[in-house]
C-alpha cells in the first residue's frame, strides 16, 4: 500500500474541492452573522499560509491566536499548519501572567488577535515578544496603529502558494492544559493524531459526523484543539457554525434553530444552562431538528441526559483530556442495552463508556492492574495514536508516563467486565474521609437529579477527626426552595450515611474554570475553614 501521509492539508484540499458551496456561519462580536463557504475558507487559509511564509515562518514555528470561535480563527486552524507552522490558540480567559507564561514557553513568533480582545493583549503584551501582531477587525474603528490589519495582510498574497513538505508526524497545533496542578503544560498534536481523531468522530458509534450534519462548535477553539470538530467537519463537508463570544443559552438556541444545527459540543455546564432555557420554553418544546450533543470535560449527570432528551437533544457522553486530543472513550448503548428499562439505560449512558478504536485504557492501583469488576477503583491510564507521548518542552514531567508507555491521567475510575469505564473522580477531588473514598461526582450528579437543584459542587473540607468531609455547595433552580434536610433525605436512599455531605450551602452561582468546568480548587479555597466556621453543623442554616 502507498504510504500517503495523514495531514491536515489533505483535509483542507478535500473541503475546497468537494464542498466549496457548504456554508460556514460565524456569530461576530457585534452579533451579526458572517457567512461564507468551505471554498472561501480554503482560498483564504492558503492566502494566510502564503503570508506567513512571506513573513519568514519556518517549519515548526508557532503562530498564536487570541480569538473567539469564528471564521478567521478557522482560517488559522488550517492556514498555519498548511504553512508548516503550529497553531497555538491562547486561552483568552486565563490570567494575563499565565497567558504570557504560556506564550513565552511556546516561543510564539506571530499573533492573530480579535480587535475586541486587544484589551486582553494590552494586559500581557509587555511580557511577551511577538514579531508581528495582526488584528482581525470586527468593529468599525481602525485597529490600534501599532499593529497590522489582518485583511490588509491577506490582501498581499499573490496566490502563488506551494505547500512545504509536511510529514504526518509534524506538529500542527499546540494546546496548553490548565495550570491547576502546577504550570500549564503544552500538548503538541501531530497532523496524524488530528486526522485519526477526526476519523473516529465520524464513526457511527462515536459522533457519526457526516456531510448531512450542521455542526455548532460551542466549546472554545482554545480548549483541547476545539475538540477536533473543526477538522472533522471539514473532512466530511459538514456545514459549520461558530458562536463567537455569544455563548449564553439563548444565543446558542437561536443558532441551533436558525442554522438547523444537528450536532454540537460543550461541557455539561453549558448544557445545564441550555436545559434551563429550554424548560422555560415549555416542557416538551423541541427545535425542528434533533440535536446530538458531544459532552465531556466533566461527568454528564443523568438528569441532564434525561432532561435534554425531552427536548430532542441527545447527549453523547465522552471522556477525554487535552492530552488525548481530546476524545478517548465514548458511551453509546450496545444493541442488547436498547431493551433495558429507561433508568438503567440512562445510568449506562452516564458512564464514560468504551475506549475508541486504537485507544487502550487500564486501571491501576497499589495492587497492580485492577480487576474489571465494576467496583475496584484505581488510576485510569491510557495510550493510543492520539494520546500525548510527552508534554511540549517539559522533560521534568516525564513521570506522567509509565515505564511501559501509558499516560497517567490522574482520574480515578472503575471498569465493568465488558470494559466500560466509569469515572469516580479526579484523584485530587475525591473526598478522603476516615480512610475511605467518597466520590464527589456521584454526590453532585445525584443532587442534580433533585427537581429543585440546578447545579451542585461537592468538595472535601479539612476535618479534625475524619481528615476530610464532603461539603455540598448548591445552586437552586429559579424560584425553587429546598431545605438541607430534604436534600440529605434525598441522598440518604442512595448513599451510605458516612458518605453524605456534612452540610449544604446554598449559593446563587458556582465558580467555573476558563473552560466552563466547576472550579473546585476555588470552592476548596472558599470553604477551607468550613469546620472552624461551623464546629457544630446546624442543618437548618441556609447561607
Q: How far is the CB of 83 from ligand ADP (least distance, A)?
A: 27
User: Is residue 388 a contact residue for ligand ADP (CB under 6 A)?
Assistant: no
User: Is residue 330 a contact residue for ligand ADP (CB under 6 A)?
Assistant: no
Binding footprint of ligand ADP, residue count (CB under 6 A): 21
Number of CB atoms found within 10 A of residue 109's CB: 20
Candidates 5-13, 250-258, 319-327, 453-461; binding stretch for ligand ADP (CB under 6 A) = 319-327
Cis peptide leading into 328, omega within 30 of 0?
no
The residue assigned the cell 457548504 is: 22
User: Is residue 409 a contact residue for ligand ADP (CB under 6 A)?
Assistant: yes
- Pull the grid cell for residue 271: 448544557
User: Is residue 178 a contact residue for ligand ADP (CB under 6 A)?
Assistant: yes
Of the candidates 9, 37, 177, 515, the residue annotated as catalytic is 177
Q: 219: buried, middle or exposed (CB in 10 Å: 19+, 13-18, 0-12)?
A: buried
User: Is residue 512 a contact residue for ligand ADP (CB under 6 A)?
Assistant: no
Look up 146 and say whether it is catalytic.
Answer: no
Of the candidates 259, 323, 381, 444, the residue annotated as catalytic is 323
Beta strands in 137-277 (DSSP E): 148-149, 171-176, 186-190, 214-217, 239-242, 263-266
Look up 530 and say whether it is catalytic.
Answer: no
d(CA 517, CA 299): 10
User: Is residue 308 a contact residue for ligand ADP (CB under 6 A)?
Assistant: no
d(CA 70, CA 35): 10
User: Is residue 28 a contact residue for ligand ADP (CB under 6 A)?
Assistant: no
Q: Checking phi first, is residue 435 left (phi over 0); if not, alpha (psi -120 to 50) or beta? A: left
User: Is residue 423 a contact residue for ligand ADP (CB under 6 A)?
Assistant: yes
Look up 319 and say whether it is catalytic.
Answer: no
Look up 177 and say whether it is catalytic.
Answer: yes
Among 317, 383, 450, 469, binds ligand ADP (CB under 6 A): 317
Neighbouring-strand partners of residue 331:
317
d(CA 350, CA 318): 9
Cβ-based neighbours of 446, under 8 Å, separated by 6 or more: 490, 491, 494, 495
Alpha carbon 340 to its chain centroid, in Å, reads: 30
Candidates 2-10, 270-278, 290-298, 492-500; binding stretch for ligand ADP (CB under 6 A) = 290-298
139, 144, 148 from 136: Cα distances, Å: 9, 11, 9
User: Is residue 98 a contact residue for ligand ADP (CB under 6 A)?
Assistant: no
Among 198, 322, 348, 446, binds ligand ADP (CB under 6 A): 322
Residue numbers 185-214 binding ligand ADP by CB under 6 A: none
Q: Which is nearer to ligand ADP, 22 or 412 (CB)?
A: 412
Task: Report H helices in 369-516.
Answer: 440-447, 484-492
Q: Which is nearer to ligand ADP, 181 or 365 (CB)?
A: 181
Among 40, 54, 180, 251, binds ligand ADP (CB under 6 A): 180
**Count helices and strands in the chain by DSSP H and E runs:** 16, 26
User: Is residue 433 a contact residue for ligand ADP (CB under 6 A)?
Assistant: no
Q: How far is the CB of 299 from ligand ADP (least distance, A)?
A: 4
Where along the sequence are the contacts to ligand ADP (CB under 6 A)? 177-178, 180, 224, 296-299, 317-322, 352, 409, 411, 423, 426, 515, 517
Positions annotated as catalytic residues are: 177, 323, 432, 437
Amino acid at each position: 500500500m502507498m504510504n500517503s501521509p495523514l495531514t491536515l492539508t489533505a483535509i483542507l484540499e478535500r473541503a475546497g474541492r468537494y464542498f466549496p458551496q457548504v456554508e460556514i456561519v460565524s456569530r461576530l462580536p457585534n452579533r451579526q452573522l458572517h457567512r461564507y463557504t468551505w471554498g472561501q475558507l480554503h482560498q483564504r487559509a492558503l492566502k494566510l499560509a502564503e503570508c506567513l511564509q512571506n513573513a519568514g515562518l519556518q517549519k515548526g514555528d508557532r503562530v498564536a491566536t487570541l480569538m473567539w470561535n469564528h471564521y478567521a480563527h478557522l482560517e488559522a486552524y488550517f492556514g498555519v499548519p498548511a504553512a508548516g507552522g503550529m497553531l497555538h490558540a491562547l486561552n483568552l480567559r486565563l490570567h494575563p501572567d499565565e497567558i504570557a507564561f504560556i506564550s513565552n514557553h511556546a516561543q510564539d513568533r506571530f499573533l492573530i488577535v480579535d480587535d475586541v480582545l486587544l484589551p486582553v493583549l494590552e494586559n500581557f503584551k509587555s511580557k511577551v515578544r511577538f514579531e508581528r501582531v495582526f488584528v482581525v477587525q470586527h468593529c468599525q474603528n481602525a485597529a490600534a496603529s501599532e499593529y497590522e490589519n489582518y485583511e490588509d495582510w491577506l490582501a498581499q498574497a499573490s496566490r502563488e502558494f506551494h505547500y512545504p513538505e509536511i510529514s504526518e508526524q509534524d506538529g500542527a497545533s499546540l494546546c496548553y492544559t490548565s495550570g491547576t496542578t502546577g504550570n500549564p503544560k503544552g500538548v503538541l498534536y501531530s497532523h496524524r493524531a488530528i486526522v485519526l481523531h477526526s476519523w473516529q468522530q465520524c464513526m457511527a458509534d462515536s459522533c457519526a459526523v457526516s456531510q448531512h450534519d450542521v455542526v455548532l462548535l460551542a466549546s472554545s477553539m482554545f480548549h483541547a484543539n476545539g475538540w477536533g470538530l473543526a477538522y472533522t467537519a471539514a473532512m466530511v463537508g459538514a456545514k459549520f457554525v461558530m458562536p463567537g463570544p455569544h455563548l449564553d443559552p439563548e444565543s446558542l438556541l437561536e443558532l441551533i434553530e436558525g442554522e438547523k444545527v444537528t450536532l454540537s459540543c460543550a461541557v455539561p455546564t453549558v448544557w445545564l444552562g441550555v436545559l434551563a432555557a429550554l424548560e422555560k420554553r415549555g416542557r416538551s418544546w423541541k427545535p425542528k431538528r434533533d440535536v446530538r450533543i458531544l459532552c465531556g470535560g466533566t461527568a454528564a449527570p443523568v438528569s441532564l441526559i434525561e432532561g435534554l432528551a425531552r427536548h430532542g437533544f441527545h447527549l453523547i457522553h465522552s471522556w477525554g483530556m487535552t492530552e488525548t486530543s481530546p476524545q478517548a472513550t465514548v458511551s453509546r448503548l450496545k444493541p442488547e442495552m436498547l431493551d433495558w428499562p429507561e433508568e438503567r439505560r440512562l445510568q449506562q449512558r452516564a458512564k464514560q463508556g468504551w475506549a475508541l478504536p486504537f485507544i487502550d485504557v487500564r486501571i491501576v492501583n497499589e495492587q497492580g492492574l485492577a480487576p474489571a469488576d465494576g467496583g475496584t477503583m484505581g488510576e485510569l491510564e491510557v495510550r493510543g495514536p492520539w494520546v500525548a507521548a510527552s508534554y511540549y518542552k517539559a522533560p521534568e514531567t516525564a513521570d506522567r508516563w509509565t515505564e511501559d508507555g501509558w499516560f497517567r491521567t490522574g482520574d480515578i475510575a472503575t471498569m465493568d467486565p465488558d470494559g466500560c469505564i466509569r469515572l469516580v473522580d479526579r484523584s485530587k477531588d475525591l473526598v478522603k474521609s476516615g480512610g475511605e473514598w467518597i466520590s464527589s461526582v456521584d454526590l453532585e450528579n445525584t443532587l442534580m437529579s433533585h427537581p429543585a437543584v440546578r447545579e451542585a459542587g461537592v468538595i472535601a473540607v479539612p476535618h479534625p477527626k475524619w481528615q476530610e468531609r464532603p461539603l455540598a455547595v448548591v445552586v437552586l433552580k429559579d424560584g425553587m426552595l429546598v431545605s438541607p434536610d430534604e436534600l440529605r433525605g434525598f441522598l440518604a436512599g442512595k448513599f451510605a450515611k458516612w458518605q453524605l455531605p456534612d452540610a449544604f450551602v446554598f449559593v446563587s452561582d458556582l465558580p467555573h474554570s476558563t473552560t466552563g468546568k466547576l472550579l473546585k480548587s476555588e470552592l476548596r479555597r472558599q470553604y477551607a475553614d468550613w469546620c472552624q466556621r461551623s464546629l457544630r453543623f446546624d442543618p437548618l442554616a441556609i447561607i
